[in-house]
Structure 1
Amino acid sequence: MTSRTTRTLLASTALGALLLSGCSSAAQPDAASTDAAAEPGGRIALTYDGGIYVLDATSLEQLADLPLEGFNRLNPAGDGRHAMITTTEGFRALDTGSWTDDSGSAQSGEPAITDILFPAEAAGHVVRHGGRTVLFADGTGDITLFDSEALRDVDSADDVDATIVTSEHAHHGVAIELTNGTLLSTLGTSEERSGVRLLDSDHETELSRSEDCPSVHGEGTVKGEIAVFGCENGALVVEDGAFTKLDSPTDYGRIGNLYVSEESPIAFGDYNSDPDSEGYLLTELARIDTEAGTLERIELPEGVSYTWRGAARSADGDLLLLGSDGALHVVDEATGEVTASHELFGAWESPSEWQESHPGLTVLDGVAYATDTATNTVYAVDPSSGEVLATAELEGTPNELVGITG
């Protein structure tokens, strides 16, 4: 059994005021005030040391520069309007200022860091799947679940009907809620992580578990709602409640991040076969075929390396890599081979710490967005042809970036 709490999140006015004192925030802009705002459409949000930029996804015009101190991370919230900012206070919603209302009409407003805050100790992973958003607090192991669309028209987390599920122990973890309501969540402590368990749709009863996934990290769902988790010696695949371990083909073969498409049975993972490696550049990939039940190690061509921040799936299901040579490489989904390389900017070196700004990649509506941190430039690229569709130079050095559909 697992401890479970279901409630509408509540926070006192005094606590909310205290949390808001450290950053710029605002309530949701309403549609009536959007006449002078940018046109509706996709948005690209990027963190930098001191704030967040919001750009128009088509033109890369800067729509907002929102001050926010600290090292902040970004993830899509799942409602097509917001991104979740992972801050020292918890998970705070960024309104990118573009959305589709209930009638299907496109709306726009001023981008803003909102008052929607889910307090969390050591806020960690954000997962979206099947219309649900899942937040994991590493400091407590608490898992917060809610309908993604619930964020769209609220002004506070108080207004969001959320379920909180408690992990066995606090740890750096992650969870996925499947469409039947069952919950996959990692197992671990502050010292080690060992596997994944499956809870029933009430999130009260454990149905099954596997502890054959040391250092579990990274997750995703592929075609058929098959879940995949990364391990330091392979991948853990979960289908219809059954766990299958796919071993790495090398003695040490860590997968820490997964790049998936829910329309494909193939998952790609970053791969490291050297436990003594230094830096964050990788020269290998894992290709996981969930239909065939295989895990293949792929060695990239000489001179091609990447970090976890520079990988994303294309609209066609191929894997895109932003290489340390400054090129955008296309890895064929079916073969794992690099089929195209598009030069974008100059070569770069591994960051000394993972939090350090270095080139990153995201994909939105078939367009790849890449950052060159040496020149603070953002590129919008057609990955099929390599054509640069737009560029923008920022004042601050970009770090993390996400695309929001609008």
Structure 2
Amino acid sequence: MTQPNRTVRLAAGVVGAALLLTGCATQSAAEPGDAATSDTDAAAGGPRLAIAYEGGVLVVDGESLEVIEDLPSEDFVRLNAAGDGRHAFVTTSEGFQLLDAREPELTDLVVEAAAAGHVVRHGGKTVLYDDATSDTTIFDTAALAEVDAELPEAEVIPGVEAHHGVSVVLEDGTFVTTVGDASGRTGIRAVDADGHEVAVSAECPGVHGEGTAEGEAVVFGCENGVLVFDDGVITKLTSPDEYGRIGNAYVSEDSPLVVMDYKDDPDAEGYLLTDIALVDTEAKTLEKVSLPDGVSYTFRGVTRTEDGDAVLIGSDGRLHVIDPATGEITASHDAIEAWEGPTEWQQPHPAIATTGDVVYVTDSANSTIVALDPHTGEQIATAELPQVPNEMVVVG
């Protein structure tokens, strides 16, 4: 199957983007070269954290954990790093609103979306997905670091049928996106830079989430396993349980090994999970691993460190370091107090983020945050927060 020439569609999308991307911010202009040095410039010597709470976003210094700015917003917002070392996208009822962590300010720049969804950063592109239309908006990530009074030009790929989905653009221009409609989500489709279909699969009921591993092997979670798109081919890896839902991928782009969340009981109440899935994108294998008794987590509580390990904040309050090859817990460190899982996923509960050799963990029950060394467990810094923290991302 061949779709209309993608070059033409994207040219039309740029015109559409001029209407889609609105705003009149008064932030300071970025200096020439900022995009190349944004990893340090974002926070005048170090990273910053954006932490969502009910009614706004805190901007926190990544070294001292001091609150730099409290930015009012809506009651419930979600956060995604823009990937440029300077900004985060705050998802609101209006769309994707750009937060500048350097100034800091919640700018007036908004990518309008009726149902702002996933944000993906890969290969120098930042990709936004609107669940209400299934339209995909694609920015050059470096260009975002240089925004002044308006957002940079973007390519917009129109959606086919609206659903809660996600898209990723590979370095050669291949566009991989989920497939579904109002009745459900079924799989993925890959289209090359010329608009020709490369591969398609409908073997992924409830497809959700995306992660790109070493060699641009892209994984998507399903209710019964995962799909791996690698070198133009889609491979289905089936869960060991009849219902083995996988919804989130925790990846390192320097490793073929992917850690994913795993749920084997469709009727289970609450959002605590006790198993993980390990996917090897080279060997094309999927393994379910049960965590030790007393260790459970939520989708918000897992990330990957710079050296490729997985780190998980358990409901026991400990930071667990996990070997992504075996699922073995290689170290556990005291981090926060033990906590109970949420009854709704939107409710505040511990979140985790990492940059370099530092792992950040929030404690929603006590409105605190801690920074740890995942190798030694040393607490680098800890602080009280003026609001109850929910989601968190590192900027810079």
* Same structural fold, with TM-score higher than 0.5 when normalized by the shorter chain: yes
1:27 aligns with 2:27: yes
Query: Structure 1's 360 and 38: CA in aligned 2 closer, same or farther, altered over 3 A?
Result: closer
The amino acid across from 1:118 in the alignment is V
Shift of 1:29: 5.8
Shift of 1:7: 1.0
* Residue 300 of structure 2, aligned match among 306, 309, 322: 309
Structure 2 equivalent of residue 134 of structure 1? 127
Q: Which moved more, 1:165-174 or 1:339-348?
A: 339-348
Shift of 1:156: 4.5
1:403 aligns with 2:394: yes
Structure 2 counterpart SS, 1:224:
helix
1:209 aligns with 2:213: no
The amino acid across from 1:187 in the alignment is V
Structure 2 equivalent of residue 364 of structure 1? 355
* Residue 378 of structure 2, aligned match among 384, 387, 392: 387
* Residue 251 of structure 1, aligned match among 212, 236, 242: 242
Query: Structure 1's 397 and 29: CA in aligned 2 closer, same or farther, altered over 3 A?
Result: farther
Question: Gapped runs of 5+ residues in structure 2?
Answer: 33-41
In the alignment, the residues of structure 1 paired with residue 94 and residue 322 of structure 2 have an alpha-carbon distance, to the nearest angstrom, of 38
Q: Is the 8 A contact 1:364 1:404 kept in 2?
A: no
Query: Structure 1's 293 and 53: CA in aligned 2 closer, same or farther, altered over 3 A?
Result: same
Structure 1 equivalent of residue 18 of structure 2? 10
Paired-residue identity, %: 53
Mapping 1:218-367, distance limit 5 Å: 218-367=209-358
Mapping 1:108-187, distance limit 5 Å: 110-157=103-150, 159-187=151-179
Structure 1 counterpart SS, 2:14:
strand
1:57 aligns with 2:62: yes
Q: Is the 8 A contact 1:56 1:62 kept in 2?
A: yes
Q: Which moved more, 1:342-351 or 1:178-187?
A: 342-351
Structure 2 equivalent of residue 101 of structure 1? none
Structure 2 counterpart SS, 1:280:
coil
* Residue 47 of structure 2, aligned match among 14, 37, 42: 42
In the alignment, the residues of structure 2 paired with residue 317 and residue 16 of structure 1 have an alpha-carbon distance, to the nearest angstrom, of 39
Structure 1 counterpart SS, 2:300:
helix
User: How many pairs are equivalent?
Assistant: 379
Structure 1 equivalent of residue 36 of structure 2? none
Query: Structure 1's 321 and 38: CA in aligned 2 closer, same or farther, altered over 3 A?
Result: closer
Structure 1 counterpart SS, 2:142:
helix
Query: Structure 1's 139 and 153: CA in aligned 2 closer, same or farther, altered over 3 A?
Result: same
In the alignment, the residues of structure 2 paired with residue 38 and residue 182 of structure 1 have an alpha-carbon distance, to the nearest angstrom, of 34
Q: Is the 8 A contact 2:362 2:389 kept in 1?
A: yes
Structure 2 equivalent of residue 102 of structure 1? none
The amino acid across from 1:301 in the alignment is P
The amino acid across from 2:90 in the alignment is I
Q: Which moved more, 1:147-156 or 1:116-125?
A: 147-156
The amino acid across from 1:27 in the alignment is Q
Shift of 1:366: 2.2
Q: Is the 8 A contact 1:26 1:113 kept in 2?
A: no
Question: Gapped runs of 5+ residues in structure 1?
Answer: 18-24, 98-109
In the alignment, the residues of structure 1 paired with residue 30 and residue 223 of structure 2 have an alpha-carbon distance, to the nearest angstrom, of 47
1:92 aligns with 2:100: no
Query: Structure 1's 350 and 183: CA in aligned 2 closer, same or farther, altered over 3 A?
Result: same
In the alignment, the residues of structure 2 paired with residue 6 and residue 270 of structure 1 have an alpha-carbon distance, to the nearest angstrom, of 35
TM-score (norm 1): 0.90
Q: Is the 8 A contact 2:256 2:282 kept in 1?
A: yes
Q: Is the 8 A contact 1:38 1:63 kept in 2?
A: no
In the alignment, the residues of structure 1 paired with residue 117 and residue 48 of structure 2 have an alpha-carbon distance, to the nearest angstrom, of 23
The amino acid across from 1:292 in the alignment is A
Q: Is the 8 A contact 1:306 1:323 kept in 2?
A: yes
Structure 2 counterpart SS, 1:325:
coil
Residue-by-residue CA offset, 1:116-137 (whole Å, 9 max, x unaligned) = 2110110000000000010000
TM-score (norm 2): 0.92
* Residue 182 of structure 2, aligned match among 185, 190, 210: 190
Q: Which moved more, 1:53-62 or 1:295-304?
A: 53-62
Query: Structure 1's 288 and 30: CA in aligned 2 closer, same or farther, altered over 3 A?
Result: closer
Structure 2 counterpart SS, 1:10:
helix
